[in-house]
Amino acid sequence: MNWQNCSMLDFIATHATDLLSFLLSAAAIFVYQLYLHWRTRRNPASSAQDVMLVAREAWVTSVMRERRDILAVQTLRNSTMAASFMASTAVLLIIGVLTLSAQGDKLSGIWHSLNFLGHVSAEMWLFKLLMVLFDLLLVFFAFSMSVRLFHHIGYAINVPLDRQLERTQIRHVVAQMNRAGIFYRIGMRAYYFTVPLLFWLFGPLFLIGATVLLIFFLYHLDRAPQSDADLMG
């Protein structure tokens, strides 16, 4: 037990720069998500996600009340295909990561040729690949849940409305649509975070730089589109 503790402490001390850069990167993403949540609560119209929540509710209400069954089937099919493609891509990337993990002793030195701060070792290489693997597993799970919810919505949205239960039926489908959208967004966010993790394979400086660029990209991506009047005013 003491030997295991010493080995763990030695690993942390040897790779302190890499581990600290990873913690800073994860903390930066977490702080940005807190800021996004705060900004959305303060001004819902400023968030692209909040705008999509309103759009989904309006779409479901229109489809169910006007019996636009063909439109519903086509739209849900497109959403399901997109989520299925993302989940399948995650599986292929997981296989690729597992393949790289079997060649850590051969590739770690090559990938760290531009590493100016971190310590080069096969153990750290495997740890980095493990973080990428966990991230891709989260991608697969999120998109799989999104596909599952879209599948259930396909049945619920075509059920004839009852006059007494109309509002309840619509609210149920809207809630399922928003849950599917949330899982889809989680999957995309996890996909985005694979970029800094992959740059981490080259060194901690690349991880920090890629994280800063990712947050800059997300800041503009999460802003709701502004009208011409807003831009001029």
Q: Check: CB of residue 206 under 8 Å from CB of residue 114.
A: yes
Distances (CA, A) of 34 to 22, 28, 105, 135, 180: 18, 10, 39, 20, 21
- Judge whether 2 lies within some domain: no
Q: What is the pLDDT of residues 99-156, one digit of tens each?
A: 877 765 555 555 555 555 556 667 778 888 899 999 999 999 999 999 999 988 888 8
Task: Judge if pTM exceeds 0.95.
Answer: no
- Judge whether 4 lies within some domain: no
Q: Is 67 left (phi over 0), alpha (psi -120 to 50) or beta?
A: left
Query: What is the chain's alpha carbon radius of gyration, rounded to the nearest angstrom?
Result: 22
The residue length of the chain stands at 233
- Using CA atoms, how far apart are residues 79 and 211, in angstroms rounded to an integer? 29
Confidence at residue 28, expressed as pLDDT on a 0 to 100 scale = 93
- Judge whether 9 lies within some domain: no
Per the structure, how many domains does the chain have?
1
What average pLDDT does the structure give for the chain?
A: 81
The sign one gets for the Cα dihedral 138, 143, 146, 151 is negative
- Using CA atoms, how far apart are residues 58 and 81, in angstroms rounded to an integer? 22
- Using CA atoms, how far apart are residues 135 and 127, in angstroms rounded to an integer? 13
- Using CA atoms, how far apart are residues 71 and 63, in angstroms rounded to an integer? 8
Domain that holds residue 62: 17-224
- Using CA atoms, how far apart are residues 32 and 1, in angstroms rounded to an integer? 39
Q: Which residue has the higher pLDDT, 167 or 150?
A: 150
Confidence at residue 1, expressed as pLDDT on a 0 to 100 scale = 45
- Judge whether 212 lies within some domain: yes
Q: Which residue has the higher pLDDT, 27 or 162?
A: 27
- Judge whether 8 lies within some domain: no
Q: Which residue has the higher pLDDT, 71 or 176?
A: 176
Q: Which residue has the higher pLDDT, 225 or 67?
A: 67
| Partners of residue 154 on adjacent β-strands | none
Residue 119: DSSP 8-state = P
Quote the distance between the C-alpha of residue 13 and its chain's center.
31
Q: What is the pLDDT of residues 35-59, one digit of tens each?
A: 988 888 888 777 778 888 888 888 8
| Partners of residue 47 on adjacent β-strands | 223
- Judge whether 231 lies within some domain: no
Segment 160-178 mean pLDDT: 81
- Judge whether 58 lies within some domain: yes
- Judge whether 229 lies within some domain: no
Q: What is the pLDDT of residues 74-111, one digit of tens each?
A: 888 999 999 999 999 999 999 988 887 776 555 555 55
